Amino acid sequence: MTITASLVKELRERTGAGMMECKKALVETDGDLEAAAELLRKKGQAKAEKKAGRIAAEGRVEIAANGSEVVVMEVNSETDFVAKDENFAAFARSAASLALSESPADVTTLMQASVAGGGTLEETRTTLIAKIGENISVRRFETISAIGSIGQYRHGERIGVVVDISGGDDELRKDIAMHIAASAPACIAEDNVPAEQLERERRILTEQAEQEGKPAEIVGKMVEGRLRKYLGEITLVGQSFVKDPDITVGKLLKQKGASVNAFARLEVGEGIEKKQEDFAAEVEAQVRASQNEDEKE
């Protein structure tokens, strides 16, 4: 049968696939729109599986809020170019909104949630992979149910922070969120540092001090001093406030009659080991492969 332009357009609008892919699918299915859509979905799944092993360390952080409920999410792509693509950005926004409305326990559960227009978030992801030609993934998200009021801050599209603060005002909440984005504290206060982490740091500091040949009574004082410095660096309330290094965040909060209940900070690619591309070596390998083929002939 004749594959009309209107039929190709309809399939393209339904699936988001390229024009030529839509036309080929319609030819293969004798113009059956439903069968063509299913065929494209299967091809998209195959492409997604093929790309699944590729490192996706770029992307964007999205924040979705509804009253006291806030979600901050990291969605990854392989390249910064795709991270700026509006189709990718729209997927990231919809994924964060879905996590907010569905309150899933984890990413696996989230990916099976239904999206507007039909299908699951996972099916939407595989369709997008087929369209943009890169591996994409929803890597992680954190949800905060605020006791106080929420402050949030995004540094570009790569760092997102939400913070739950009791007391203070909008300016303080924004300032604390910006500080967390810049200084990346590990936790709120010393009480939140795991005992095993504290003990490990104490052991390392003790070994370092002993190697300096100091007397035992001096070693103890040195370790305690360095441990206080370490805790000041990793805890939010112990850090120097980025907008006024003369005071700590803890002192600022006390001045404002405020306290931090919880915070979440996500940074794109954090902890992902990126593949280092050696372009010159890649070209050289291609040349050698071509030469080997010529020699075989």
- What would the pLDDT profile of 83-107 be if each residue is shown by its tens digit? 999 999 999 999 999 999 999 999 9
Q: What's the CA gap between 96 and 117, in Å, rounded?
A: 17
**pLDDT beyond 70 at 214:** yes
Going by C-beta distance under 8 Å and a sequence separation of 6 or more, which residues neighbour residue 59? 74, 75, 76, 77, 83, 88, 92, 136, 139, 268, 269
Mean pLDDT within 178-198: 94
Among 116-120, 127-131, 229-233, top mean pLDDT goes to 229-233
* pLDDT given for residue 174 in this prediction: 96
Going by C-beta distance under 8 Å and a sequence separation of 6 or more, which residues neighbour residue 108? none
**pLDDT beyond 70 at 36:** yes
Mean pLDDT within 42-65: 71
* pLDDT given for residue 280 in this prediction: 57
Crossing angle of helices 19-28 and 33-51, in 10° steps, is 120
Q: pTM of this prediction?
A: 0.74
Tokens of 88: 């990718």
* pLDDT given for residue 102 in this prediction: 96
* pLDDT given for residue 73 in this prediction: 98
**pLDDT beyond 60 at 228:** yes
CATH architecture of structural domain 5-51: Orthogonal Bundle (1.10)
**pLDDT beyond 70 at 133:** yes
* pLDDT given for residue 41 in this prediction: 67
**pLDDT beyond 50 at 297:** no
Tell me which of 15-19, 117-121, 156-160, 209-213 is least confident. 15-19
With contact defined as beta carbons under 8 Å apart, do 104 and 96 qualify? no
* pLDDT given for residue 293 in this prediction: 47
pLDDT bucket at 66, cuts 50 / 70 / 90: very high
Give the H or E element holding residue 294. Answer: helix 279-296
Please spell the DSSP secondary structure of 219-240, one letter per residue: HHHHHHHHHHHHHHHHBTTTSE
pLDDT bucket at 129, cuts 50 / 70 / 90: confident
Residues pairing with 264 in the sheet: 162
Name the residue ranges covered by the structural domains of the chain.
5-51, 53-145
With contact defined as beta carbons under 8 Å apart, do 260 and 192 qualify? no
Q: Residue 80 in 3-state DSSP? A: helix
Q: Residue 163 in 3-state DSSP? A: strand
Could you tell me which CATH class the domain 53-145 is placed in? alpha beta
With contact defined as beta carbons under 8 Å apart, do 132 and 91 qualify? no
